[in-house]
Amino acid sequence: MFCDYNVTGKSESKTASIGGAQIGYELSEFQIGSSSSGWGLRPAIELEGYYLGSSMNTNLSNPNPEAFAAVNSVGPNPNTHSPLAANSHTFNDTINLNMGVLLANTVFNFKTPWSNKILPYVGVGIGGAITSLSGANSTQTSNPQMPTGYEAGINHFNSNNNATGSAFATQLKAGVRAELFDKFSIFAEYRYLNITDSGYTFGSTEYGLEHAKTTSWNVNLGSMNYHTGVFGIQYNL
């Protein structure tokens, strides 16, 4: 008897590492208001790429009842099947996520009456992301059909726990740039990054007689949202 498992859950990632580089071109300043207002707008275009890494921890459960959840391969009745109620079959997945993001940005720098050297700015970007999932571990944490109620030491992705995928990316950012010297500036900014849904395929469960062999596991990550703070140095050619 073969059974399909369709489990869902919400991933959590508290921290992330980020680093990258960008190249851009700033257009001539546009005056805002009268010549004495002191306000100006400096549009710019950018191409940037950066690395973002994090780890995810997800508790998953099957929201639907399982009429024939699995074959009981232990005990005197190896072919009996027991129905499982909704959300009684659970897993915990941990995954390392490494992402390369490439974006084209439009940025608006604002000159204010208070300073010619400190420029607030806002920007928006679109692009794509290549995502690598590594070291994935999927363990069954609850199955009332099992003698122990769970499976100890079984990673259901054990034959191949790495996968790659791609997705569409959008970004919003806002920050402040301070011009220190003739060509050098520093900046600090907040970024919101959205990565759309993406799909991955991990290897089958293969433990010989210890666990029934499965087919490959298809994993879908829903939209991912990152809120990050970034500090950097800018050099003007």
Q: Are strands 16-26 and 90-111 parallel, antiparallel or unpaired?
A: unpaired
Quote the percentage of the chain above a pLDDT of 70: 87
CA gap 88, 70 in Å, rounded = 13
The whole-number pLDDT of residue 69 equals 43
| pLDDT tens digits for range 62-72 | 787 766 544 44
pTM here?
0.82
Within the chain, how many helices (H) and strands (E) appear? 0, 11
| pLDDT tens digits for range 158-173 | 999 999 999 999 999 9
Q: Are strands 90-111 and 163-179 parallel, antiparallel or unpaired?
A: unpaired
For the chain, how far is it from start to end, CA to CA, in angstroms? 67
Quick one: CA dihedral 193, 196, 197, 200, positive or negative? Answer: negative
Task: Report residue 147 as tokens.
Answer: 């003698």
Q: Where are the domains of the chain?
A: 14-73+83-235
Q: Does domain 14-73+83-235 have CATH number 2.40.160?
A: yes
The whole-number pLDDT of residue 64 equals 76
